[in-house]
Amino acid sequence: MTTLDIIKSILMLLGGLGVFLIGIKAMGDNLEAMAGNKLKGLFNKISNNRFSGVAIGAGVTAVIQSSSATTVMIIGFVNAGVMTLAQATSIIMGANIGTTITAQIVSLQSLPITAFFASLACFGAFMQMSKKDRIRNIGSIIAGIGVLFVGLFVMSNSMKDVSKVPAIANAFQKTTNPFLLVLLGAAITALIQSSSATTTIIIGMGMSGLITLKSAIFITLGINIGTCITAVLASIGSTPNAKKTSIIHLSFNMFGSLLFFIVCFFLPNSFYDWMGSTFNGEIANQIAMFHTAFNVITTLLLLPFVNVLPKFASLFVKDKSTKDGMVDELSSDKPLYLDERILGTPSIAMMMIRKELIGMSKLARENLDLSIDCIVNRDLSQKDLFDKREKRIDMLNKEINRFTTKVSHEHISYISEKESASYYYVASNIERVGDYAQNIIEYTQELIDYDSIFSDTAKQEIMDMKKTIDELSDEVSTAFENRDISRADVILDLEEQVDTHKTILEKRHLERLNKGLCNAESASVFLSLVSNLERIADHIQNVFKSMNAYITPAPKSLFKTTHAEHTPEKKPANNDKKPTNNDKKPTNN
């Protein structure tokens, strides 16, 4: 072969690798899009059962086709505090098993069916022209499989051409030092950050005769070490527990590689000859099966030590600032659950946005409770705590909108697009609840400045109205968390009860004012307070209405239009927040 031919072969090899990776990503992304809710269901079932953790890790990784992506997600969960280190450990073990599915797929090229699989790219492409979202997704998966095998075919042919070059063939055949082979596998995988790509190259080299089965096995051990670099990089700047997660991942693979290195180093050549005779003598199948056996056996050996590995990781990472490595929520200027490391898996990212919205809603609810307690008792001693929550609510509103925008740019289904659009609306309405609670705090200051108080009757009326709002908030929170709109009639009834409270309370208070039972200053504050409470109920109901965009809708008659209503895709209208004389504009605006 001429130098030009060698260069062409290497370029085609790189092109084939690129096509293969595109096929893997297309297949994984569309599998994830179709199995999005099931993936979220799997992570919602996370428990302390180590066997279920392994199953979840293997299942998720088999779908998204990347153990590195799964591990990075797990680091994000641990960083957010929604997963313990023990739970993360078992899922990482499962992820290492799930990632071997790629090698098994690649090994199929050794069978006389490569042309059939490659042709799937054409069939999948035609299916992508369908108007139905599900058929398009299935077509994308099928096309991804086809493209994957096209890439493998190109790589295989290029590798055969390269193997014909005596200098290159001799260089690989003479590289038999096990230590050097392990280092080579680790370095290449760390460089390209894809164990799937490296494994594919090794299988191709084995099929072309560039390396022996024994050399491929030692390189595979290095691949399992090199794949940890992605998790290590992802843990930089995270909480101590997230760093421990990356150490657990690294120590798991290091232990397995060291154990298998010792065993394989002292095994006689006759063992490799025996392995070479199995699976019809196809080295692709032999490498794939070794890769699977490595991760399964390592998992079985270390599974009893799920609770020990976190303690081992603690030897390298010390918790200095807070208990258990977690961050005090109110003192943090970052969201708890939103982590860009999980953007690569949009279905999980959507789940984490919901968790952040639920947490944001609880903060707004706590501030509302505190504001009512302040105005009823005319006491601002806890205003600093209120201000901390309000500051965090405003921050979460901005960060949730920013993160949701990034998720919407990922490969997600039409329903997921509608759901993500509704999250802008939800965050905005929750933030408005916090703003009206801020108004109530300011009304408390007015009472103090005017040296006025509410009568016992007025206080009881406020608490009665607040009780109905609490019931409404409980119903909406439960519905949002469970994605259930079946109790729309109950929620509508509660919101109408709040409207009735407002009408009655305004009438009664004006009667008291006319009778001279209260002064003008306290009357003005009371009427403003009642108006704010009614608007708070509107915004709480709007959170419930947002689910109508992505869940089978209830009858439209159950959704009453309020003055706080606006479309999910838009920010609240400016006139919604413009105060009247009795409705002060929140200071943070």
Confidence of residue 10 (pLDDT cuts 50, 70, 90): confident
Quick: pLDDT tens for 177-236: 899 999 988 988 888 777 878 888 888 888 888 888 888 999 999 998 988 887 787 777
Q: Which of 525, 541, 565 is nearest to 439 (CA)?
A: 525
Stated pTM of the model: 0.68
Confidence of residue 504 (pLDDT cuts 50, 70, 90): very high
Task: Kindly state the average pLDDT of the residues 105-133.
Answer: 82
- How is domain 340-577 classified at the CATH fold level? Methane Monooxygenase Hydroxylase; Chain G, domain 1 (1.20.58)
Q: Which of 390, 395, 516, 495 is nearest to 442 (CA)?
A: 390
Burial class for 296, CB neighbours closer than 10 Å (0-12, 13-18, 19+): middle
- The domain segmentation of the chain, as residue ranges, is 3-314, 340-577
Structure tokens at 368: 């509302």
107 has a pLDDT exceeding 50: yes
Q: Which residues of 394-414 are buried (b: 16+ CB within 10 A; e: fewer)?
A: bebbebbeebbeebbebbbbe
Structure tokens at 576: 């919604």
Confidence of residue 83 (pLDDT cuts 50, 70, 90): confident
The pLDDT of residue 570 is 35
Please answer whether residues 411 and 346 qualify as being in contact, where contact means their C-beta atoms are separated by less than 8 angstroms.
yes
Burial class for 204, CB neighbours closer than 10 Å (0-12, 13-18, 19+): buried
140 has a pLDDT exceeding 90: no
CA-CA distance, 234 to 73, in Å (whole number)? 9
Percent over 70 (pLDDT), the chain: 86
109 has a pLDDT exceeding 90: no
Give just the sign of the alpha carbon dihedral 387, 388, 391, 396. Answer: negative
Least reliable range by pLDDT among 28-42, 188-202, 251-265, 551-565: 551-565
Give just the sign of the alpha carbon dihedral 340, 341, 346, 352. Answer: negative
Structure tokens at 261: 């290195």
Report the chain's terminal Cα–Cα distance, integer Å. 73
Quick: pLDDT tens for 331-366: 778 888 887 877 877 877 888 899 899 999 999 999
Pairwise pLDDT comparison (484 vs 585), residue with the higher score: 484
CA-CA distance, 425 to 569, in Å (whole number)? 7
Task: Kindly state the average pLDDT of the residues 166-183.
Answer: 81
The pLDDT of residue 38 is 66
